[in-house]
Amino acid sequence: MKRLADCRVAIVGLGLMGASLAMDLSQNNLCREVRGIARRTATVLDAFFAGAVDLATNDLTTGVMAADIVILATPVRTIVDMLGEIGPHLWPGTLVMDMGSTKSEICAALDQLPPGIQPIGGHPMTGKETAGFDAAETGLYRNATWVLTPLPRTSPDALCLATELVEAVGARPVVLPAERHDRLVAAISHLPFLAASALVHTTAQVGAGDPAVWELAAGGFRDTSRVAASDTRMFLDILMTNRPAVLAQLDAYLEQLSGLRGLLQAGDEATLQAKLSVSQAARAAWKPRR
């Protein structure tokens, strides 16, 4: 298998994640060629004239043909559909990666690729609330954790090449099974999105009766509601492809909220303080790596 410097890399999807990766690869000359594939012609042209890619097209088959590495950076269910479409057009030995936020369904679809294709799931743990090509930036993956989920059929050489790509853009590769990944991100990513969405809905109900609530909203509301502004289509795909894990985390979260409500209703200040102190200490002990 080739080294990254000798590879033609085709990135399908030129939104925030795909375009940011393309920029890092092309502007730092990390590989032989960067191709961008996007559905909208305007995005294709923007990417090409911004120097994010060497070649750009809105034809999926043409874009992936003869590529050494194909990276799918679209919503999760689109990735699953695309894998069936591109399989017959890939050369033997092609490394196929993805950047989807859930892994079990994608890895099952990756396993259906023709023999000789090297599949590996992936999920960079970074991003922004804003989406689209205009939101892309160089250095987005620097110091970010990037989960890799190899399949039993994935060769050691393919995993090495995927690792080389991840490290080349400054990220830290972490290898996890798909099911474990999905359980963990349900707690740290998918549940917070739903919690933030519920918070915004609740505040909007207050605002319907008293619009002054929006004038009073400041840093606390901004920080806790931030992810509610994320792309809805992307998160619908995430939630629907990770339902069991998300439902389990929702049940656990509702149990915690119910416990806090019970303590508040009972006026049990001492127990409430003790419980809040535990969460305060746990949050203070966590040191974000970015």
pLDDT in tens, 150-168: 999 999 999 999 999 999 9
pLDDT of amino acid 125: 95
Average pLDDT (71-83) is 96
pLDDT of amino acid 124: 97
Q: Where along the chain do its domains lie?
A: 4-176, 181-285
> Which numeric CATH code is attached to 181-285?
1.10.3660.10
pLDDT of amino acid 288: 79
Confidence grade of residue 290 (pLDDT, cut at 50, 70, 90): low
The model carries a pTM of: 0.92
Give the mean pLDDT of the chain. Answer: 95
pLDDT at 127 over 90: no
CB-neighbour burial class of residue 275 (10 A; exposed 0-12, middle 13-18, buried 19+): middle
Average pLDDT (173-200) is 97
103 residue type, one letter: K
pLDDT at 289 over 80: no
Distances (CA, A) of 259 to 37, 88, 90, 96, 262: 49, 54, 54, 46, 5
Tell which residue, 3, 114, 223, 78, has the closest CA to residue 96: 114
Tell which residue, 37, 64, 34, 232, has the closest CA to residue 133: 37
pLDDT at 259 over 80: yes
pLDDT at 251 over 70: yes
Q: Residue 17: enclosing H or E segment and its boundaries?
A: helix 16-27
Contacts of 53 (CB under 8 A, 6+ apart): 11, 14, 22, 26, 34, 35, 36, 47
pLDDT at 204 over 90: yes
Kindly give the pairing relationship between strand 33-37 and strand 55-57: parallel
pLDDT of amino acid 131: 85
- State whether CATH 3.20.20.140 applies to domain 4-176: no
Asked whether this chain's domains 4-176 and 181-285 adopt the same fold, the reply is no
φ, ψ for residue 154 (rounded to 5)?
-70, 125
Average pLDDT (234-261) is 96
pLDDT of amino acid 133: 93
